[in-house]
Amino acid sequence: MTIALTGATGFVGQALLDRASDQGLEVRALARRPQDPREGVEWVSGDLDAGDALRSLVRGAEAVIHVAGVVNNAAEFERGNVTGTLNVIEAARAEGVPRLIHVSSLSAREPELSAYGASKARAEKLVMASGLDWTIVRPPGIYGPRDVDYFEMFRLARWGLMPIPPKEGRASIIHVDDLARLLLALVPGGEDVSFQTYEPDDGREHGWGHYEFARAVGWAMGRRPWVVHLSRTSLERAARVDRRIRGERARLTEDRVGYMSHPDWVVSHGQRPPAKLWRPLIPTREGLKATAEWYKREGWL
């Protein structure tokens, strides 16, 4: 079996390559820049705008796992998340690839809250209308080694002060390796998973309150940080400051504030993947601890 993969050089994509290697699967992976050779991986040079590269990527594959997308740059959401998904669909249809696993976002559930969520919702509609055998996965917050978003929380915990979203909010979370296992488990398709939209998580009922999750990150870092809830107005101010300081590398954007301020990012119980297919294996506290150790070992902290 050959799996075509977009977003292979990113956080989730790298975890997928690791998991596919463990399972002895062959992957053809899209990359914009030259990559070091990797056993079991055939690199294809190109991006989501390159039709010829996408057709080379998917040719002869049994399935496409579409991970690539734009997360931070609002000006690129339409091109990267919507048009890019359409280009992947057209390449798969042209090459006769029947199966598409599309990685969306829980933010697509509330598209009015952010431009990012709206772009992911539009991409989902394209997938549903594609005529392919599809499954959509809407992950909640994803953490683990190599992640740059939750890394900010670990770094703040080390400093002893953690500003977080409003007090009433709750959210689900998932370790990147658990997500990678799910995506690979979905590749064969079948009547139980085809044409379904799933919201996976760590298995914690009712998700995590912002405060308790912040304290869990602090525990993973061996700290007891001062946790401060910020209002939406304060988050917007912080986003503007982050933009001035880090420019396009800012992690807290004004668009993200829209969904960070929403009180309910807990996965829908009825949309969890079938238990006979997949269950999360990494308890979140243990996963956070291992992630903190990875950051320290790699010199991030």
Catalytically annotated residues:
116
Cβ(164)–Cβ(229) below 8 Å: yes
**DSSP symbols for the chain:** -EEEEESTTSHHHHHHHHHHHHTT-EEEEEESS----BTTEEEEE--TT-HHHHHHHHTT-SEEEE----SS-GGGHIIIIIIHHHHHHHHHHHHT--EEEEE--GGGGSGGG-HHHHHHHHHHHHHHTSSSEEEEE---EEESTT-SSTHHHHHHHHHTEEEES-TT-EE-EEEHHHHHHHHHHTTT--TTTTTEEE---SS-TT-EEHHHHHHHHHHHTT--PEEEE--HHHHHHHHHHHHHHHGGG-SS-HHHHHHHT-SEEPPPGGGSPPTTT----S-HHHHHHHHHHHHHHTT--
Among 256, 253, 231, 227, which Cα is nearest to 240's?
A: 253
Cβ(195)–Cβ(239) below 8 Å: no
Q: Rounded distance, CA 148 to CA 221, Å?
A: 16
